[in-house]
Copies of this chain bind each other. A is one copy, B any other.
Amino acid sequence: MDIKAAMAEMGRAARDAARIVAAASVAQRNDALLQIRQALAADRENILAANERDLEAGRENGLDAALLDRLAVNAARLDVLEEGLAQVAALPDPIGQISDERGMPSGITVGTMRVPLGVIGMIYESRPNVTIEAASLCLKAGNAVILRGGSEAIHSNTALGQSLANGLSAAGLPVDAAQVVPMVDRAAVGALLTMPEYIDLIVPRGGKGLIERVMAESQVAILKHLDGICHVYIDTEADPDKAHRIAFNAKTQRYGTCNTMETLLIAKAQTGMLPALVAALQEEGVEVRGCDDTRAAAPAISVTATDADWSTEYLAPILSIKVVDGVDEAMAHIAQYSSSHTESIVTENAETAARFLREVDSGSVMHNASTRFADGFEYGLGAEIGISTGKLHARGPVGLEGLTSRKYIVRGDGHIRQ
């Protein structure tokens, strides 16, 4: 079979389906989500059996315990998916609103309407629940979606895709509005990335290898973050208690998340707080690495941080600490090493905070708060399709709005240009 042709066929079908979904009422789109929920419940046996086949193959192929856990679908996880569909259905309709409408000197009125993007291409690994979560957000925002999960989850994703089709059908929407790619061949990903005539946005979810491949090959715009090298800067005028609390939380509340602090910058004047902070981190099991000034202030640190540390997203209980002169050196370090994800300043000086908030060029910039707050749910978005470290279209945690576009709406009464 010609994979490129098969993918183009899926793209064409998705494009046609997208027009129908975009024109559907919010009641019909919400109904589709609730019908998919019912289909998931009805198809449980089939889904669990398909997942068992993936798990067996995974064990045979020597997948480690963490990967097998991510691959697993069970009754509890299906409960979460069903609950999630109901929650997305209950969210406000992100499309159709006209805003900023105002009259112009020519007599026309001009406003903008939020509209669906069109066709989304999701590329992800391991976790089959992404199939349902991503499809629900795309459909809620009036889009069609093509879903390409990992080959290790092909049976699970195909079964979940059948539930998507069953639900769409029951709601009277085209099944091509949410298609799971049936081919495991990696060439299918390449094809998906090179059909801008059918795909409006690619959303990759996975490890750095996946993201880098997508970035290198894609001819379609990508909503992605590659790294989360997040910084907390403890300013000369920080409250030491808040600083200790925020730094400890930003590192230890979870280690494997992209909004976890990887480097702590601390003003020279504050190094007196380092011994207690380092002790608390070490007691929690964090390996602390420091620059020379850090190690001088906290002799319990036995590893010197190198240039490689400032550029590394550990995703692990490791923290590098650097002593800086003040906010200028901190911002220069961030400009050089940050992945533009999330940075936070701890200070009681409102002017210093305002400078940091304005000048640091990251998706989320914080004052006296833990970087761990950088999250669509914590920001009140109601849902999160991903976090963007790019500066165009959507930035930071991305909810339903990131899956939409805007267009100008112009009204006249026979008006012509003079």
Contact = CB atoms under 8 A, between A and B. Distances in A.
B380 A102 contact: yes
A23 B335 CA distance: 13
Given A361-B118, A380-B104, A395 B407 contact: yes
Contact of A221 (B369, B392, B414): B392
Contacts of A365: 113, 407-410
A359 B22 contact: yes
A68 interface: no
A129 to B, nearest CB: 22
Interface stretch (A154-162, A179-187, A237-245, A313-321): A237-245
A347 to B, nearest CB: 11
A396 interface: yes
A273 B362 CA distance: 57
A146 to B, nearest CB: 17
Interface string A336-368: 000000001000000000000111011111111
Copies of this subunit: 2
Contacts of A414: 239, 241-242, 245-246, 368-369
Interface in A356-387: 357-359, 361-370, 372-374, 378-380
The A interface, classified by DSSP as helix, strand, loop or mixed, is mixed
Contacts of A379: 104, 110, 408, 410
Contacts of A380: 102, 104, 110
**Size bin of chain A's contact surface:** 35 or more
A415 B344 CA distance: 11
A416 B200 CA distance: 37
A232 to B, nearest CB: 11
Given A96-B358, A395-B407, A378 B416 contact: no
Contacts of A367: 409-412
Interface in A7-65: 19, 22-23
Contact of A370 (B405, B409, B415): B415
Interface in A289-341: 335
Nearest to A239: B414
A213 to B, nearest CB: 15
A416 B357 contact: no
A201 interface: yes
A134 to B, nearest CB: 18
